[in-house]
Amino acid sequence: MKKIECIIKPFKLDDVKNALSEMGITGMTVSEVRGFGRQKGHTELYRGAEYQIDFIPKVKIDLVVSADQVAEIVAVVQKEACTGRIGDGKIFVTSVDQSVRIRTGETGEDSL
| 53: β partners | 42
In terms of pTM, does the model score above 0.75? yes
Q: Which CATH number fits domain 2-111: 3.90.1150.10, 3.90.180.10, 3.40.50.300, 3.30.70.120?
A: 3.30.70.120
Instruction: Give 93-108 pLDDT, tens digit per residue.
Output: 999 999 999 999 999 8
Say whether pLDDT at 40 is over 90: no
What tens digit of pLDDT does each residue of 1-32 get?
A: 999 999 999 999 999 999 999 999 989 999 99
Q: Which residues of 40-66 are buried (b: 16+ CB within 10 A; e: fewer)?
A: eeeeeeeeeeeeeeeebebbbbebbbe
54-75 pLDDT, tens digit each: 788 999 999 999 999 999 999 9
- List, in sequence order, the alpha helices (H) in the chain: 13-23, 70-81
Confidence band, pLDDT 50/70/90 cuts, at residue 44: low
Pairwise CA distance, residues 109 & 71, whole Å: 17
